[in-house]
Structure 1
Amino acid sequence: MIHHPGNVFVVSAPSGAGKSTLAQRLVQSVPDLIFSISFTTRKPRPGEVDGRDYFFIDEDRFDAMVREGGFVEWVQVYGHRYGTGKEWLNGVLATGLDVLLDIETTGALNLRRAIPDARMIFILPPSAAALEQRLRSRGKDSDEQIGIRMRHARHEMELYHAYDYLVMNDDLELAYRQFESIVYATRTSRERMAPVAQRILEGF
């Protein structure tokens, strides 16, 4: 196998667009691609394991990492903080593995500033009406909560122009094939493959 410093893929979407389904399938199906493991100040939920689902740390340690520039990006969501560790990410990328970050738009834009060549992917719902129907079909949220999610979804949709690729999740299989193709196309880009081509050329 050809080993090279890994690629960074970022995926964002409004709640209900199907991002988690697509991202989980991608990591299970594509070799040498792993999920990023975020640091968080929230407590573990039942079944969650430190170092597998998240790195669970306290507020003081999070503050120290912020001061020391230890995060590529970090955000506060619903009273808890989440961040991508710079040392962890660099260590994984150095092995040649690709990393997929499932983060919301604010974190994604912060990461883009830190890693300009990260590939940014936004999952689009087919329409606002379809998104609202998906949220209602879950049966988990009140009308008020759905209204809040829809307003937040509009805010996220307004940032679509900051992403490199837009994948509409209307047909799940088609959306997955498009999502997967972005990873393989990035791996074969001229910028990534130039060192390999140069080594082959030197053999002539």
Structure 2
Amino acid sequence: MKQMIIAIVGQAGSGKDTVAQLMRMTLHVPILCSYTTRPMREGEVNGREHIFVKECNIPREKMLAYTEYGGYKYWTELDQIKDAAIYVIDEKGIMDICERFPDIELVNIYVAAKPETLKARGIAPERMKRDEYRVTMDINSFDYVITNNSSLWALLQAVITVSLQMTKYSLEDLKTLNQELSEYIKAALKDN
């Protein structure tokens, strides 16, 4: 079976990790957890958003992707991907995978949010400013664009729409998905 990566890209604070979690539930595909040298942020859990380490000491030939962003290193190892995986990555990482691993099928999803939405979410101005200097791809090069300016419910609807377009579900799959997503939404609402 050909390896497939569902690459999720977007600005800082656009909701990439949330989209990844929702896609994990809708598609039953694992999320690749990248290594990073950046410090853990409040609310993050080691091994969930990233694997937080002090330094990068793995040879480049054993990496699936590598990038530097905001002065920190991010990478995944080749042995982390089996058949299919969801990967929150930047455009430079996508380009790197395309160049080094042309046999891996990539489905590219861009998560967009308006600057005023990011500001309302409390995204630090310096994080938003860093996005101005990152490598970008033309929006038309993405397979799907998910807009995340509204509620969790609207985001969920967009993710389900994309997931349904990517694959076909049986009735039993939809029942299981409905239960998992209901639990996710209830937990998210409790946190707010």
TM-score (norm 1): 0.63
Aligned to 2:111: 123
TM-aligned CA distance change 1:75 to 1:175, over 3 Å: same
Instruction: In structure 2, give the amino acid aligned to 1:136.
Output: K
TM-aligned CA distance change 1:147 to 1:100, over 3 Å: closer
Match of 1:162 among 126, 131, 141: 141
Report the secondary structure of 1:76's partner residue: strand
Match of 1:104 among 77, 84, 90: 90
Instruction: In structure 1, give the amino acid aligned to 2:144.
Output: Y
Structure holding more helix per residue: 1
CA distance in 1, matches of 2:166, 2:87: 13
- Unpaired stretches in structure 1, ≥5 consecutive residues: 126-130, 186-204
Instruction: In structure 2, give the amino acid aligned to 1:134.
Output: T
Report the secondary structure of 2:124's partner residue: coil
TM-aligned CA distance change 1:135 to 1:43, over 3 Å: closer
1:41-80 correspondence runs (5 A) = 41-44=37-40, 48-49=45-46, 51-59=47-55, 62-66=56-60, 69-80=61-72
- Unpaired stretches in structure 2, ≥5 consecutive residues: 169-192
Match of 2:31 among 29, 35, 58: 35
Larger Rg: 1
Aligned to 1:195: none
Deviates more, 1:76-85 or 1:36-45: 36-45
Extract structure 1 runs of 4+ deviating beyond 4 A. Answer: 43-47
Kept in 2, the 8 Å contact 1:16–1:134? The answer is no
Superposed displacement of residue 132, structure 1: 1.5
Match of 1:136 among 107, 113, 119: 119
Kept in 1, the 8 Å contact 2:37–2:73? The answer is yes
What are the Cα deviations for residues 126-151 of structure 1, in whole angstroms up to 9, with x where unaligned? xxxxx111122123435xx3762573
Superposed displacement of residue 105, structure 1: 1.4
Kept in 2, the 8 Å contact 1:74–1:81? The answer is yes
Confirm or deny that 1:18 pairs with 2:1: no
Kept in 2, the 8 Å contact 1:12–1:19? The answer is yes
CA distance in 1, matches of 2:128, 2:54: 32
Q: How many pairs align?
A: 161
Superposed displacement of residue 172, structure 1: 2.3
